């Protein structure tokens, strides 16, 4: 059962080809501990070996997890991040940085509307956000050069070398969420620190990389399976070490010299506590939310994920990413053109998304604010890059291609100063005109908010230290 718990909580970890499994024959997995020697603990059976090792090796008890958290794995600040990942790369001109005075092939088919910030206009299909833009910060000068997608992760790692198609080491650069999971931890021991919701493809989100698979995200898609115990197995039986000891032979095959032993300790503690504690199960159960709140968010899947994200940070998760996509290709926001399915162009592809996004982001921000959570929760909305300033790319009528030279994004909450626009693009929205903001600046802002020291390092496979922030500083206008 223990192995099943682990595979459900971290489904990719336990099946990874990087971890070699041995058979059940041969030397006992715990032989190196010399369990039959009299050194303070006397054991005479395999059951005794398991019982004495569970507390330190398996770590499958709530007291062990509580002790681990008390030793610094869980921060007490209550800070969290919700990343609305607009998979595919939203057009800056057709969202937050419109160019109404330019020719139609640049300005696009949408009109603009005024916002609560005097002199600031955004797309007409974002009226709710326009009405409360004083709660947001728009950044119109994000430098996302080197960023791509499928499965490029520059904007989720702040590492400009994160291009797996050209750099075989790129997959090892840890994501923001993974670094927060390691150096901040969850805000409650019964909650996973880093969660991904609505994940349509593994390539849409960031992973633990050099930090180890124990800092990969918890896949919220598997939450319903995780909390379903097999018939005849009660929670009381699950909590009994004698019951768990019968399953240790299954775990034994996962233990090898590659570091899986330490990973197992983390996996087992997290997986067992998530199931046994009940807190995460309650957080993922939207039926426990009052009907009027569920009605407020609505039935769209993105809205349900936003409500889940609020429930998760409210109960102790510290970093939640929502994959705002409807398919597993390069992303729903990848609006190349009407004749290039499934993306569509600006009119047929982007236009239907914007009202949904507008409702989701404003409902989430309002709800967090009303619950007193907004100052502790930094909400970030962004994709991989911007899009070309000229319509009609790739033979389409109104598509826009990838454009890493400038991107817009928005932030809210976190106790920062909002109600402002940072930076500017040029007259056509194709280049940065003033105040570049880099991925390193974004990373530094996130870690500043989460209390992770900016000089923190992680070690690569050669044992060399790497800084979590490379050439970046917290965005000064926000602090």
Q: Which residue has the tokens 């911007």?
A: 386
pLDDT surpassing 70 at residue 380: yes
Q: Report pLDDT digits (tens) over 130-152.
A: 999 999 999 999 999 999 888 78
Percent over 90 (pLDDT), the chain: 66
Q: What share of the chain is helix, strand, coil (3-state, %, to 5)?
A: 40, 15, 50
Q: Report pLDDT digits (tens) over 316-349.
A: 999 999 999 999 999 999 999 988 888 999 999 9
How far, in Å, CA of 90 to CA of 402, rounded? 9
Superfamily for the 76-222+282-467 domain: Alkaline Phosphatase, subunit A (3.40.720.10)
Q: Write down the domain spans for the chain.
A: 1-74+228-277, 76-222+282-467
The pLDDT of residue 234 is 58
Residue 149 CB contacts under 8 Å (≥ 6 apart), including other chains: 87, 88, 89, 203, 330, 331, 334, 384, 385, 402
Residue 278: how many CB atoms within 10 A of its CB?
A: 13
Q: Are 96 and 408 in contact (CB under 8 A)?
A: yes
pLDDT surpassing 90 at residue 243: no
Q: Which residue has the tokens 């139609």?
A: 104
Pairwise pLDDT comparison (370 vs 59), residue with the higher score: 370
Q: Report pLDDT digits (tens) over 154-183.
A: 999 999 999 888 898 999 999 999 999 999
How far, in Å, CA of 58 to CA of 155, rounded? 36
Q: Are 137 and 412 in contact (CB under 8 A)?
A: yes
Q: Are 475 and 445 in contact (CB under 8 A)?
A: yes
Q: Are 241 and 1 in contact (CB under 8 A)?
A: no
pLDDT surpassing 50 at residue 246: no
How far, in Å, CA of 401 to CA of 88, rounded? 10
Q: What is the mean pLDDT of residues 286-314?
A: 97
pLDDT surpassing 90 at residue 236: no
Could you tell me the pTM of the whole model? 0.80
Instruction: Select from 459, 177, 436 the least CA-distant residue to 323.
Output: 177
Q: Please give the angle made by the CA atoms of 241, 243 and 247, to the nearest 5 degrees.
A: 100
Full DSSP string of 48-94: HHHHHHIIIII--SHHHHHHHIIIIIS-SS--EEEEEE-TT---STT
Q: Report pLDDT digits (tens) over 430-448.
A: 999 999 999 999 999 999 9
Token pair belonging to 299: 């039935």
How far, in Å, CA of 113 to CA of 136, rounded? 16
**252 pLDDT tier (thresholds 50, 70, 90):** very low
């Amino acid at each position: 059962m223990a192995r099943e718990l682990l595979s459900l909580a971290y489904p990719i970890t336990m099946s990874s080809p990087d971890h070699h499994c041995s058979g059940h024959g041969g030397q006992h997995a715990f032989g190196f501990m010399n369990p039959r020697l009299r050194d303070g603990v006397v054991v005479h059976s395999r059951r005794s070996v398991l019982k004495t090792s569970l507390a330190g090796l398996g770590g499958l008890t709530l007291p062990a997890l509580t002790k681990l958290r008390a030793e610094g794995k869980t921060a007490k600040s209550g800070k969290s991040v919700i990343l609305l990942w607009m998979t595919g790369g939203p057009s800056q001109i057709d969202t937050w940085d419109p160019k109404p005075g330019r020719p139609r092939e640049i300005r696009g088919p949408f009109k603009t509307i005024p916002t609560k910030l005097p002199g600031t206009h955004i797309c007409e299909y974002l009226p709710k956000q326009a009405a409360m833009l004083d709660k947001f910060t728009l950044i119109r000068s994000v430098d996302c050069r080197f960023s791509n997608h499928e499965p490029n992760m520059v904007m989720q790692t702040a590492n400009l070398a994160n291009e797996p198609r050209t750099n075989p080491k790129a997959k090892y650069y840890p994501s923001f969420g993974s670094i927060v999971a390691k150096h901040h931890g969850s805000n409650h021991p019964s909650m996973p620190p880093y969660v991904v919701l609505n994940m349509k493809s593994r390539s849409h989100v960031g992973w633990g990389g050099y930090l180890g698979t124990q800092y990969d995200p918890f896949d919220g898609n598997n939450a319903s399976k995780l909390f379903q115990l097999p018939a005849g197995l009660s929670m009381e039986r699950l909590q009994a070490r004698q019951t768990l000891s019968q399953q240790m032979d299954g775990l034994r095959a996962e233990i090898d010299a590659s570091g899986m032993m330490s990973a197992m300790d983390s996996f087992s503690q997290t997986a067992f506590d998530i199931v046994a504690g009940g807190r995460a199960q309650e957080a993922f159960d939207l039926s426990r939310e009052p009907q009027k709140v569920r009605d407020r968010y609505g039935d769209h899947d993105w809205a349900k994920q936003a409500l889940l994200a609020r429930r998760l940070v409210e109960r102790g998760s510290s970093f939640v990413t929502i994959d705002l996509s409807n398919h597993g290709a390069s992303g729903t926001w990848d609006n190349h053109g009407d004749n290039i399915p499934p993306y569509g162009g600006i009119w047929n592809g982007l236009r239907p998304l914007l009202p949904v996004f507008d409702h989701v982001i404003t409902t989430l921000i309002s709800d967090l604010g009303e619950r007193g959570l907004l100052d502790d929760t930094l909400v970030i909305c962004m994709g991989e890059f911007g899009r070309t300033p000229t319509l009609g790319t790739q033979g389409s009528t109104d598509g826009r291609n990838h454009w890493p030279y400038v991107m817009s994004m928005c932030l809210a909450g976190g106790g920062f100063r909002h109600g402002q626009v940072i930076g500017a693009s040029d007259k056509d929205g194709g280049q940065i005109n003033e105040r570049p903001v880099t991925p390193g600046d974004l990373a530094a802002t996130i870690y500043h908010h989460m209390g992770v020291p900016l000089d923190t390092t992680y070690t690569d496979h050669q044992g060399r230290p790497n800084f979590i922030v490379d050439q970046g500083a917290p965005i000064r206008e926000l602090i």
